[in-house]
């Protein structure tokens, strides 16, 4: 791992640590979590490591923490309801919502191109950074600190979802539930093309059932593209009364 950290950057990172209530033993892990690929690509000579690997780890840690919490607290929920609840809680819009609550975009290292196009407010970037932050806390402070951090910010979202006050629409779950009533065929999401450089990609996705394309969508991340494809499929099915 390689980073560019100077005194000014350390002061900025100190601010976000105070805000989230966790002090890193290894400040480079925090900087790594907040480094976007666009910044690394614009500073290739430094061979800077960006946050996608931490995002991968954080996604798994987040899923485990939320699963453990809802499994224990809502012991009367069957597996299907737990799955739906978890999907609502850990969806991209909810993660970006939390990231905005702690002003995470303010502390990120972004490339100039991403900066001028609103990257600090982009849903996919913020959601990925929040997952990367979870991953960095997990490495730095182990599972219990990661759990404390996640539940500090996600418990309210879980309770809202349980009480029917869902802040976020999970189109993929809605589509799956609708189709399961009428077909046992597998639902597939396929990335059919990608456009743009690595740090500024747009993904084009199709949702397919029994070889039929139900909807198409695009987004700055695969998750966002899948949600948009599912949304289009639901809109089409409502109009045509399919399946």
Long-range contacts from 110-114, C-beta under 8 angstroms, 24+ separation = 110/36, 110/38, 110/39, 111/36, 111/38, 111/39, 111/41, 111/42, 111/199, 112/42, 113/38, 113/42, 113/199, 113/200, 114/36, 114/38, 114/39, 114/199, 114/200
Mean of the pLDDT values across residues 89-101? Answer: 90
The pLDDT assigned to 220 comes to: 78
Mean of the pLDDT values across residues 174-202? Answer: 84
Query: Are 33 and 132 in contact, with CB atoms under 8 Å apart?
Result: yes
Give the model's confidence band at 167: pLDDT under 50 very low, under 70 low, under 90 confident, else very high. low
Per residue in 200-239, pLDDT (tens digit) is 788 999 999 988 999 999 987 888 899 889 989 988 887 6
Per residue in 134-154, pLDDT (tens digit) is 999 999 999 999 999 999 999
Domain boundaries, the chain: 7-162, 171-240
Is the whole model's pTM more than 0.85, yes or no? no
Query: Are 178 and 234 in contact, with CB atoms under 8 Å apart?
Result: yes
Give the model's confidence band at 14: pLDDT under 50 very low, under 70 low, under 90 confident, else very high. very high
Could you confirm whether 59 is annotated as catalytic?
A: yes
Give the model's confidence band at 166: pLDDT under 50 very low, under 70 low, under 90 confident, else very high. low
The pLDDT assigned to 221 comes to: 81
Domain covering 7-162 in this structure, CATH number: 1.10.1520.10
The pLDDT assigned to 183 comes to: 78
Catalytic residue among 55, 128, 131, 170: 131
Residues 232, 93, 177, 218: is their CA dihedral positive or negative? positive
d(CA 242, CA 145): 47
Domain covering 171-240 in this structure, CATH number: 3.30.160.20
Could you confirm whether 170 is annotated as catalytic?
A: no
Give the model's confidence band at 3: pLDDT under 50 very low, under 70 low, under 90 confident, else very high. low
Catalytic residue among 59, 92, 206, 226: 59
């Amino acid at each position: 791992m390689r980073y560019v950290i100077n005194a000014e950057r350390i002061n900025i990172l100190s601010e976000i640590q105070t805000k989230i209530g966790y002090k890193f033993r290894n400040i480079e892990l925090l900087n790594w979590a907040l480094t976007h690929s666009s910044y690394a690509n614009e500073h290739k000579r430094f061979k800077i490591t960006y946050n996608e690997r931490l995002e991968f780890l954080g996604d798994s840690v987040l899923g485990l923490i939320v699963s453990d919490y809802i499994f224990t607290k809502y012991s009367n929920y069957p597996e299907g309801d737990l799955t739906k609840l978890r999907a609502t809680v850990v969806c991209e819009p909810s993660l970006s919502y939390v990231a905005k609550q702690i002003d995470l975009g303010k502390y990120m290292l972004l490339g100039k191109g991403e900066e001028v196009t609103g990257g600090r407010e982009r849903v996919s970037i913020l959601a990925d950074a929040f997952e990367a932050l979870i991953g960095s806390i997990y490495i730095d402070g182990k599972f219990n600190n990661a759990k404390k951090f996640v539940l500090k910010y996600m418990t309210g979202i879980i309770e809202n979802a349980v009480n029917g006050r869902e802040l976020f629409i999970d189109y993929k779950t809605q589509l799956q539930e609708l189709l399961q009533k009428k077909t046992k065929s597998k639902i597939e999401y396929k990335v059919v093309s990608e456009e743009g450089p690595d740090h500024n990609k747009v993904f084009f996705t199709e949702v397919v059932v029994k070889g039929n394309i139900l909807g198409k969508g695009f987004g700055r991340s695969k998750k966002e593209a899948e949600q948009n494809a599912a949304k289009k499929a639901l809109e089409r099915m409502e109009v045509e009364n399919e399946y």
